Each structure stands twice: as structure tokens, then as C-alpha cells.
Structure 1
Amino acid sequence: MSSLLSPEVTIVAELTERCDRCGAAAKLVVTLTSGGELAFCGHHANRHSDDIVKVAERIVLEDGFEWAGK
């Protein structure tokens, strides 16, 4: 299921999570509309930006990160 509204986007000074795909420092954390959260490093966040926006209820970005989905 995809959200018809744009997800809420918040910018924070620093994230402490690790990428769920590769373990690198997370630059983006997404809260899914279906529940749960996923963390992405910069590479994976930009690679999957179109899909992230489709399933996101809330997106938290680290300050200074240039995200392709924004």
C-alpha cells in the first residue's frame, strides 16, 4: 500500500543508526506506512529513493545529507 500524501520529512543533527542493508552509518531513517522502520546509508537511500517515498509515513534525514528523493 502506498501513501497518497507526501511523507513527513524531519532533519536531525546526527543519526546513530546503521544501514539495515550494509551496516554503514545511516543517513536516512524511514518509518513505513505498514509499520516498522528501516535505516539507509547515503548510497542505499539515494539508490532506493523512489521506493522509499512510496512506502514512507515519516523520513528522518541527517543534516547535510543530499537525498535524491527530496
Structure 2
Amino acid sequence: MTAPLTAQDRCDRCGAQAYVRVGLPVGELLFCAHHARKHAEALEGVATAIQDETHRLTEDNAH
């Protein structure tokens, strides 16, 4: 669960680009930043791991 998320990884809730991967005892879910924030409290209670790459949304890519 450490592979970087790519543009092909899509939110399981709405289909937008996924920036958060949530490991669960029975698999994993992918979320866009919006849905990850919306469901954060519930996910923290059941997740075995959370890979959060939302920092990529605000990085300065103008190098």
C-alpha cells in the first residue's frame, strides 16, 4: 500500500482522482480529498492504514 497514487486511481465514491488510499481488513478504498475529509472520522475507526497524498494538491509544481 505504499505505491504512489496516480491519475488513473479514482475515488470509489465519485470517480474523481484519488489522493487517499484507505486499507481495510477486507481490502482497500480510494478517495478524493473531499470524500476523504468527509468520511475521515468513520474511516479512522476501521482503517488498518491510511495513505494520504492530499499534500500533492497544494505543492508548487512550477519548478
Identify whether the pair has TM-score above 0.5, normalized to the shorter chain. Answer: yes
RMSD: 2.1
State the percentage of identical aligned residues: 44
Moved over 2 A (4+): none
In terms of fraction of residues, the more strand-rich structure is 1
Letter in 1 for 2:51: V
Larger Rg: 2
Q: What are the equivalent positions in structure 2 for 1:47-62 lying under 5 Å apart?
A: 47-62=38-53
In terms of fraction of residues, the more helix-rich structure is 2
Q: What secondary structure, in the 3-state scheme, does the structure 2 residue paired with 1:64 have?
A: helix
Q: Which residues of structure 1 form unaligned runs of 5+? A: 1-9
With normalisation by structure 2, the TM-score equals 0.72
Higher RCO, 1 or 2 (CA under 8 Å, sep at least 6)?
A: 1
With normalisation by structure 1, the TM-score equals 0.65
* Matched length: 54
